[in-house]
Chains A and B, each alone.
Chain A
Amino acid sequence: MKVELLINGVSRSADIEPRKTLLDALREDFLLNGTHAGCEHGVCGACTVLVDGEPVRSCLMFAVQADGYEITTIEGLAPAPGELSVIQDAFCETHGLQCGYCTPGMILSAHALLQRSVTPTREEIVEAISGNICRCTGYGQIIEAVQFAADRLRKANTPRAATQADQPVAEAK
């Protein structure tokens, strides 16, 4: 079946069997291997992508269902080749990953959260990543990474003088 998808702002088309998941189509037909295949039945969250800005499991959606939506994969977050987004960089800074398998899904879930609000509570962060399983970190440093990224994003949108006045840094640490 001919399918046209809007992936990371670029319109792409391929001939895809209806039974192929969006996950497999991204990896095999569009060579976007940053989206990871984990359990392939909707449990682990490794395959999370954004559909119209909201996180969804790409293993639970067929590629033929995905036309007309704006799909964002981990490859679509960095501002330029060789650079990292604020959230990606925060994961490196705080060691929010070890093996890295869950990381693209974690970062996209965090990205969707921080698009809505740069002042999430710890509970909101935990809820946002509750559908993503990590077997290495114990989640503590992932939560720290999201808090750190939120702090940076807050400062990026605040005039310098005001930033020095409040003290969200200590709270994030």
Chain B
Amino acid sequence: MKPAAFDYVRPGSLAEACELLAGDDDARLIAGGQTLVPMLAMRLARPARLIDILRLPELAGIGEEKGAVVVGATTRQAQAERDPVIRASVPMLARVLPWVGHPPTRNRGTIGGSIANGDPSAEIPLVAVTLGAEIMLAAKDGSTSMSAEDFFIGPMVTSIDQGQCVRAIRFPVWSHPRIGVGFFEVSSRRSDFAFVAAAAQVALDEDGRCLEIALGLGGVADRPLRLDVSSLLGTPLEAGSGTDAVNAALADIEAMSDLHASADYRRRVAGVLCVRALEQARDNAAAKPAKGAR
């Protein structure tokens, strides 16, 4: 369990990091290293050079914009978990973070690292896809961005080019006062890879009718999916009412099968967890006062 030899560089700016990355196909970025270092140790990855971006000031910090919270790529998962802005404005992210690894891995692991890794069972990519976040990328020839839905392609495969670096993730913030989040996951042990994970966010109006709804599914297909349950908009989301919408949304999904869980199992559990997540989200939203500031 010892990595092969590599060169280590720690550039002083994002521009310098992008410059180094652009000129070298054998280079890999490292930030928290909580997935990359085991890959190196098992020699599943053997880059010639590691470019350490963890301390770059351009990638750090959590900022609020109109209608969004922008989370810098190197924000530690543990830091995001405690952050008051994320707790208040991106509650789904705050809700799932305790399920991401363990306290020691969350102290080093970053939000951007989990996005770039693109594990189909990972919670942070699930939140990004469910909420329709935007992945902001930096490269030598300029910055770009793309929707999370376009970013994730398959297991550990993303649309990122060799010369690009995840700079930040822009999570949209819902403006309604009554917002609730629901999240359920099935794995063999707490904090292990999810076989199925379902995340939901709903906004209710003063009468308890659904104004906005988002539902996402992780661990089932080869990438996190956003499910279309827009047929529930305007309804009071009564118990059991989500089942038909969820089943319709799950109809065309290609579920993965592996050593841990069959495709049939994943599909079955997905239906149950999606309904539970919606109901939990509704209950949490309904518990908030109908009027007044969030």
Q: Which residues of A contact B (CB under 8 A)?
A: 1, 17-19, 21, 24, 39-42, 45, 48, 51, 54-57, 59-62, 64-65, 109, 127-128, 130-131
Contacts of A61 in B (CB 8 A): 33, 37, 108
Contacts of A55 in B (CB 8 A): 103-104, 107
A64 to B51, CA, bound (A): 12
A130 to B38, CA, bound (A): 19
B108 touches A64 (CB 8 A): no
B42 touches A60 (CB 8 A): no
Among A45, A59, A62, residue most surrounded by chain B Cβ atoms (within 10 Å): A62
A59-B41, A109-B103, A131-B101 known; A19-B1 Cβ under 8 A: no
Contacts of B6 in A (CB 8 A): 18-19
A54 to B3, CA, bound (A): 25
A31 to B78, CA, bound (A): 30
A129 to B39, CA, bound (A): 24
How many A-B contacts at CB < 8 Å in the complex?
83
State how many angstroms separate the Cβ of B275 from the closest Cβ of chain A. 27
A45-B104, A60-B33, A131-B102 known; A65-B54 Cβ under 8 A: yes
Q: Which residues of B contact A (CB under 8 A)?
A: 1-8, 30, 33-34, 37-38, 40-42, 50, 52, 54, 78, 98, 101-105, 107-108, 190-191
A18 touches B103 (CB 8 A): no
A19 touches B2 (CB 8 A): yes
Instruction: Write 16 A-B pairs (CB below 8 A) sorted by A numbering.
Output: A1-B8, A18-B6, A19-B4, A19-B5, A41-B41, A41-B42, A45-B102, A51-B108, A55-B103, A55-B104, A56-B107, A57-B108, A59-B1, A59-B41, A60-B108, A131-B191
A51-B107, A61-B33 known; A41-B8 Cβ under 8 A: no
State how many angstroms separate the Cβ of A63 from the closest Cβ of chain B. 10
Contacts of B107 in A (CB 8 A): 51, 54-56
Contacts of A21 in B (CB 8 A): 37
State how many angstroms separate the Cβ of B75 from the closest Cβ of chain A. 15
A60 touches B8 (CB 8 A): no
| Among candidates A17, A42, A45, A65, residue contacting B52 with C-beta atoms closer than 8 Å | A65
